């Protein structure tokens, strides 16, 4: 097989057309325990990372917002009251299990009306050109097979002046932190996954997929290459996580 025919799934090389199915299997396995594991893995800090992303978004009343790879709806739940009845929030995920968990959770919390659910692939977003004021993707871009294609798809459906926020695991700046993070990722995470979610392999993939994701400067350049302007990023927790922002001119 040529390099064009393969991509990475964690540290494994797989056929390009197989990756989406493999990622789907990971999230089918962990969907019901996803929120619990996020709180345990990050000691709750993921909520602070997401809150900062929302603050950077500039979302206001009447806006249309798309949350891609929205999972169990953390960001969508915050955006819905911000845009109000005249606005719209779309929670999108390629994985039906995750989307179902997110929809049920938000409905149970009384969040309805301006919130819609769409099963969609980030590479082929089924929305009109120039439609959204803001797009967010939190901890989802690293699982996308063709990130460049996904970024161009997001640019297409943003309105001029619209903003993309990419919240994702990244590369720690401090070598000591990096070593400690590696030790935690490859020993504690799989053990925790087995104990809480009954699945160590999915959390082994999580650790590997983070290491295969582009670093901060590479992702910023990818966003610029896709056509985004004024691209910048903010490191959090020493660079363990970064939020990238770009604007459509």
Domain annotation covers residue 82: yes
186: in domain: no
Q: What CATH number corresponds to the domain at position 218? A: 3.40.50.150
| 121 labeled binding residue | yes
**pLDDT value at 19 more than 80:** yes
pTM exceeds cut of 0.85: yes
CA nearest neighbour of 10 among 194, 173, 208: 208
- Written in H, E and C, the secondary structure of 193-238 is HHHHHCCHHHHHHHHHHHHHCCCHHHHHHHHHHHCCEEEEEEEEHH
Q: Can you give the pLDDT at residue 29?
A: 75
Instruction: Return the pLDDT at 75.
Output: 95
Q: Indicate if the pLDDT at residue 1 is higher than 50.
A: no
Look at residue 187 and tell me if it is in a domain: no
Does residue 93 have a known ligand-binding role?
Answer: yes
DSSP code string of 107-158:
HHTT--SSEEEEE--TTS--S-TT-EEEEEEES-GGG-S-HHHHHHHHHHHE
Does residue 12 fall inside a structural domain?
A: yes
In a domain, 179, yes or no: no
Q: Per the domain annotation, does 193 fall within a domain?
A: no
For residue 190, is it within any domain? no
Residue 197 lies in a domain: no
In a 13 Å sphere around the CA of 25, the CA atoms on its Cβ side amount to 10
Does 3 score more than 70 pLDDT? no
pLDDT digits (tens, 9 = 90+) for 175-221: 999 999 999 889 888 888 888 778 788 889 888 999 999 999 999 99
How many structural domains are present in the chain?
A: 1
- Write down the pLDDT at residue 4: 62
pLDDT at position 140, please? 94
Please say if the pLDDT value at position 39 is more than 70. yes
The answer on whether 199 is annotated among ligand-binding residues is no
**Do 9 and 23 touch, CB atoms closer than 8 A?**
yes
Does 155 score more than 90 pLDDT?
yes
Structure-block tokens of residue 178: 């990096």
Is 148 annotated as contributing to ligand binding? no
pLDDT at 206: 85
Domain range enclosing 91: 3-173+205-247
């Amino acid at each position: 097989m040529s390099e064009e025919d393969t991509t990475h799934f964690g540290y494994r090389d797989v056929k390009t057309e197989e990756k989406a199915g493999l990622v789907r299997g990971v999230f089918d396995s962990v969907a019901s325990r996803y929120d619990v594991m996020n709180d345990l893995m990050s000691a709750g800090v993921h909520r602070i990372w997401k809150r900062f992303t929302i603050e950077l978004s500039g979302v206001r009343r009447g806006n249309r917002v798309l949350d891609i790879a929205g999972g169990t709806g953390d960001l969508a739940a915050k955006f819905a009251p911000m845009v109000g009845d005249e606005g719209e929030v779309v929670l999108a995920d390629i994985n039906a299990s995750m989307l179902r968990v997110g929809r049920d959770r938000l409905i149970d919390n009384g969040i309805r009306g301006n919130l819609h659910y769409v099963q969609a692939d980030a590479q082929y977003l089924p929305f009109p050109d120039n439609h959204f004021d803001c797009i967010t993707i939190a901890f989802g871009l690293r699982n996308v097979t063709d990130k460049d294609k996904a970024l161009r798809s997001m640019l297409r459906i943003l309105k001029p002046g619209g903003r993309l926020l990419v919240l994702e695991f990244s590369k720690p700046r401090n070598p000591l932190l990096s070593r400690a993070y590696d030790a935690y990722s490859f020993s504690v995470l799989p053990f925790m996954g087995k104990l809480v979610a009954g699945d160590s392999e999915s959390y082994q993939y999580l650790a590997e997929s983070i290491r295969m994701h582009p670093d901060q400067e590479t992702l910023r350049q990818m966003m610029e290459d896709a056509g985004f302007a004024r691209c910048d990023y903010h490191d959090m927790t020493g660079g363990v996580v970064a939020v990238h922002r770009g604007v459509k001119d």
